[in-house]
Structure 1
């Protein structure tokens, strides 16, 4: 069979993470490559009770077609959440429920970007979003990061000199893959630059509630006096990724266009899953559940940081994230990172090569990403020792 695929999809490579995750199904592999919530993180009993209740009391309502914008009580609950918890709701804002933040990112790109338009992003950045942008024919321009977020001087230079910049894509909290959190001062400066040069900010915040130390930093959306920030949130890391429920908060003139784009994609987000999220917010204590997650993940993060410090060669550096799910490790110059990652898999540990997260797919990286939420505590220690032994063999 002779198949000719579209230019849009032909140039998009499979996600390196998803390919590596295939290896993670092998019980003999320690999956530092995943980004999944811990198996202990799900409120299974509460979700089972809610599901049984809504199917008993309102079966047609959760089995029939529904509104593209989302289940109205959930939309209102999310607006209240964004207003009271994040101080990020303006009179000009509205909200649409989407099938996870990934769909929100896809719909925003679909809404604003023509082929050849430029999207600025942190470098490195989340591979799922980068591939989404590539699928629409957008050009990616990566901006290197400092310890407190994107490099402001290089960002301004890119905004000033690059034609057709449509979006600035940012993960300000516990960034994937680096774990870096953008400082308050830098957030204010980024917002000012975007406003000055007429760029929209796409703020992706799936990890913001998972803070284990330090003080919360206001979202970019909370600074948005001009309607230029589009905010993507999700239940995936605080309730369940399998439910596939997220949301986009943006200016009310933008939401109808996103809604039309969603109608063309899937009509509406799973309505049973929306009811589950709304009922959990209404009848259970979501902030208390988030605090339990913080306790769970803080312990695992600390264990991985301690184990990396204990076992890795001193020349290998790594970030100390204040929250989120990831740590970014960097090998010294002269060590072949891709070969190191390949050898690690042979020895039973899967990590994600840093090249997967770069805006320029042909660029090289000395870094790799590890995750502490998915593996058990025993696996964290064992995996770090394997990586450490390997590093000491290769670095000497």
Structure 2
């Protein structure tokens, strides 16, 4: 049979990262390509205890249909927690629980994007979100990322030049893939620019709680007195990605449309998973858990930087990080990171070439992304050492 696919998916390509995972699944391969939390970071014991109590005490609550907006106790607690802890949420805002933060990107896109509308993205940016925007046939324009976040002059130029800009997509904390954090000054300017030009900001913050160095910077959403910021949060990096629980805080009219769209996608996020998040936040020491994660990642990041200083320098440089899961490494100017990554795979080390994170994946890029959290300490050092040998051979 000749299969005819919709116009909006015909040009989509498989995620480069997911394709790399096929190689990384080989036990002989050192994977520095994933975006996974460290295995030792999962609160498996606590989740088992919570699950046992749920199915002993109120199993029907976990097994029955629930509200599309989310499990009410979790929604209520998160609303109060985010307001008290991060000054996020105003009287005009509401909150919806989603199946991971990735669904926030999809629901917002479905709610506000028409074919040909423009999304301004950091360049480079998270491939999962870029592919979501592409699936709605949006026009993507990349705005360069600097060591302190998106270039605001370039952002304003894009806002002036592009037609039908619907929103600015940003990952301000420990950005994926570069690991950089947007300064407070740039956050304020981005907000003022969005207000001036009448566009939304989609603030994606999966890594904000994994800050192990430096000073906390308030979210862009904490500035929002005008109803122009859509905030995406998730439990994927702090409890478990497998349970697929994220959330969105946004103005009520946007949430209402997202609820309708979600009803057509998955009805509601898994109730059992939502109950786990609620019980974990309210009956265990959640702040102590976050501190434990920071301690784990602080140690592993130090191990990675020591290894990169020893084995990659001076041929390969990297941007310093204060949290998150990634390092952005750069080869000498003119070197093709895609070819470098292929050579690394042949030597059984997987990294992600930087062009995978660009709005135009065919554009040349001399950088690549390393994940330092997933591999064992031994494999982390081993993988970086092999990357150094690859650089010695091909540069």
Q: TM-score, normalised by structure 1?
A: 0.99
Would the aligned equivalents of 1:173 and 1:205 in 2 still touch at CA under 8 Å?
yes
Once the two structures are TM-superposed, the CA of residue 362 in structure 1 deviates from its matched residue by: 2.3
Once the two structures are TM-superposed, the CA of residue 198 in structure 1 deviates from its matched residue by: 0.5
The 2-side partners of 1:337 and 1:216 are apart by: 32
The 1-side partners of 2:245 and 2:102 are apart by: 10
The 2-side partners of 1:102 and 1:83 are apart by: 22
1:243 — aligned with what?
243
2:249 is the alignment partner of 1:264 = no
The 2-side partners of 1:359 and 1:142 are apart by: 6
2:44 is the alignment partner of 1:29 = no
2:96 — aligned with what?
96
Q: Deviations over 1:7-57 (max 9, x none)?
A: 111111000011111111100011100011111111111101111111111
Q: Deviations over 1:192-215 (max 9, x none)?
A: 000000010000000000001001
In the alignment, structure 2 segments of 5+ residues that lack a partner are none
Q: Deviations over 1:61-88 (max 9, x none)?
A: 1111110000000001111221121111
2:310 — aligned with what?
310
Would the aligned equivalents of 1:262 and 1:268 in 2 still touch at CA under 8 Å?
yes
The 1-side partners of 2:57 and 2:160 are apart by: 57
- Could you list the runs of 4 or more consecutive aligned residues of structure 1 that deviate by over 6 angstroms after TM superposition? none
The 2-side partners of 1:335 and 1:394 are apart by: 10
2:359 — aligned with what?
359
SS in 1 for 2:86: coil
Would the aligned equivalents of 1:297 and 1:373 in 2 still touch at CA under 8 Å?
yes
**Structure 2 matches for 1:65-76, cutoff 5 A?**
65-76=65-76
**Structure 2 matches for 1:319-334, cutoff 5 A?**
319-334=319-334
2:286 — aligned with what?
286
2:371 — aligned with what?
371
1:44 — aligned with what?
44
SS in 1 for 2:115: coil
SS in 1 for 2:329: strand
Would the aligned equivalents of 1:335 and 1:394 in 2 still touch at CA under 8 Å?
no
SS in 2 for 1:88: coil
The 1-side partners of 2:198 and 2:269 are apart by: 31
Would the aligned equivalents of 1:313 and 1:391 in 2 still touch at CA under 8 Å?
no
The 2-side partners of 1:152 and 1:61 are apart by: 47
Once the two structures are TM-superposed, the CA of residue 315 in structure 1 deviates from its matched residue by: 3.0
The 1-side partners of 2:22 and 2:209 are apart by: 29
**Structure 2 matches for 1:146-157, cutoff 5 A?**
146-157=146-157
SS in 2 for 1:167: strand
Q: Deviations over 1:77-100 (max 9, x none)?
A: 111221121111211111000000
Would the aligned equivalents of 1:43 and 1:239 in 2 still touch at CA under 8 Å?
yes
Once the two structures are TM-superposed, the CA of residue 161 in structure 1 deviates from its matched residue by: 1.5
The 1-side partners of 2:54 and 2:355 are apart by: 45
The 2-side partners of 1:177 and 1:10 are apart by: 26
The 2-side partners of 1:247 and 1:338 are apart by: 34
SS in 2 for 1:370: strand
User: Relative to structure 2, which stretch is displaced further, 329-338 or 245-254?
Assistant: 329-338
2:160 is the alignment partner of 1:160 = yes
The 2-side partners of 1:154 and 1:335 are apart by: 25
Q: TM-score, normalised by structure 2?
A: 0.99
SS in 2 for 1:253: helix
The 1-side partners of 2:150 and 2:254 are apart by: 26
Once the two structures are TM-superposed, the CA of residue 393 in structure 1 deviates from its matched residue by: 2.1
The 2-side partners of 1:334 and 1:98 are apart by: 42
Once the two structures are TM-superposed, the CA of residue 162 in structure 1 deviates from its matched residue by: 0.8
Would the aligned equivalents of 1:313 and 1:392 in 2 still touch at CA under 8 Å?
no
Once the two structures are TM-superposed, the CA of residue 299 in structure 1 deviates from its matched residue by: 0.6
SS in 2 for 1:264: helix
The 2-side partners of 1:333 and 1:188 are apart by: 33
2:123 — aligned with what?
123
The 1-side partners of 2:370 and 2:80 are apart by: 35
Q: Deviations over 1:157-199 (max 9, x none)?
A: 1101211000100000000000000000010001000000001
The 2-side partners of 1:220 and 1:334 are apart by: 36
Once the two structures are TM-superposed, the CA of residue 382 in structure 1 deviates from its matched residue by: 0.5
Once the two structures are TM-superposed, the CA of residue 60 in structure 1 deviates from its matched residue by: 1.1
Q: Deviations over 1:131-179 (max 9, x none)?
A: 0000011110000111101111110011012110001000000000000
2:105 — aligned with what?
105
RMSD over equivalenced CA pairs, Å:
0.8
